[in-house]
Amino acid sequence: MIVYFREHELHTMNTHPENARRFEKLGALLERERVHTPEPAAEEQVLRVHTREHLRRIKALSEAEAWADADTYLTRHSYRTALLAAGGAVLAAQLAQKHGHAFALVRPPGHHATPERAMGFCLFNNIAIACAEMLAGGMKRVVVLDVDVHHGNGTQEVFYSSPEVLFISLHQHPLYPGTGMPEETGRGEGEGYTVNIPLPPGTGDADYLQALELALDIAVQHSPELVLVSAGYDTASQDPLGGMMLTSRCYAEIGRRLRRFPAVCFCLEGGYSSSALAAGVESTLSGIRGQSQEYEPGESTLDLSHVRRVLRNYWSA
């Protein structure tokens, strides 16, 4: 189940890494798969995550074709495109709940957008809006697993006080936006429900999969009804922005290991090599469908003892 809308092409800028050409190698996949087209997210859905002021500001910036910050451009179509991307995440979450898995191939991405701020190429936080929609529909336990190379600071902020949403992020550190230390664990009732696993530049498949296994061991303890995955492919070795070294086989293995959960919804985030993005999405789909072989890339030398020590305050880790 793929969610996609052609109008994403109207939010683009040739000189910017987050442009419509990111999707230029997805043609074969989109032709082969059953593709669902989303509706724009409703104001009410966006306002579960963002302030009314933020919604107004994005609309005004879009009309003015202005930048939200030094990294984040808008065209006059961006307001509608961003609402479609958020609506796409919502639709994919609903499809995943019904059919076991779904993938929202949407842009602009969302995981850096905070309740009141667009940043890092992100206007509305697509995955957070989808998550809030599922909670509003009666879900009690959701995991958001962020495997983009960058820390999902916006999503973390949205659910920082929520014990219903277990937010887990694997990301490169140091790297933009600089947040995502293991000691950021949540606030109030949400204490313990934020899990950050920073990884060094150069991280390859073996180390990444060891960190993923820790993340999934904790995710299982939350007994999620749905796992929402912020799927970034800027962890790929070919990616021009990230410094990790993941291969397509690793994405298949991530998908395969997620088969232990009842429902999994992938929402595209980053990924700035169009060929690595297309190969990564194909691999993820083959993994979640059980069409990939188990992959054991060899011995990991990554030391996760500090992360485990922090996590043991809340989870068996």
Active site residues: 112
Longest dimension (CA), the chain: 53
- Can you name the residues that pair with 172 across neighbouring β-strands? 199
Q: String of b and e for 161-186 (b: at least 16 CB within 10 Å)?
A: ebbbbbbbbbbbbebbeebbebebbb
Q: At 172, phi and psi to the nearest 5?
A: -75, 140
Nearer to Zn ion, 232 or 255 (CB): 232
Residues lying near Zn ion in the complex (CB under 5 A): 148, 150, 232, 234, 270
Nearer to Zn ion, 180 or 270 (CB): 270
Q: Which helix (H) or strand (E) holds 199?
A: strand 194-199
- Rounded Cα distance, 50 and 54, in Å: 6
For residue 242, give every residue at least 6 positions away whose Cβ sits within 8 Å of its Cβ, in sequence order, or none. Answer: 149, 150, 172, 175, 234, 235, 236, 270
Closest residue to Zn ion, judged by C-beta, is: 270
CB 72 within 8 A of CB 118: yes
Nearer to Zn ion, 250 or 263 (CB): 250
- Rounded Cα distance, 226 and 317, in Å: 21
Min CB(152)–Zn ion separation in Å: 9
Min CB(54)–Zn ion separation in Å: 21
39 secondary structure, DSSP code: P
Min CB(176)–Zn ion separation in Å: 8
Q: Which helix (H) or strand (E) holds 3?
A: strand 2-3
Whether omega before 177 lies within 30 degrees of 0, making that bond cis, reads: yes
Min CB(109)–Zn ion separation in Å: 7
Nearer to Zn ion, 152 or 287 (CB): 152
- Rounded Cα distance, 132 and 142, in Å: 10
Q: At 278, phi and psi to the nearest 5?
A: -65, -45
Min CB(98)–Zn ion separation in Å: 29
Nearer to Zn ion, 171 or 256 (CB): 171
Nearer to Zn ion, 224 or 270 (CB): 270
In single-letter form, the type of residue at position 108 comes to: P
Min CB(71)–Zn ion separation in Å: 11
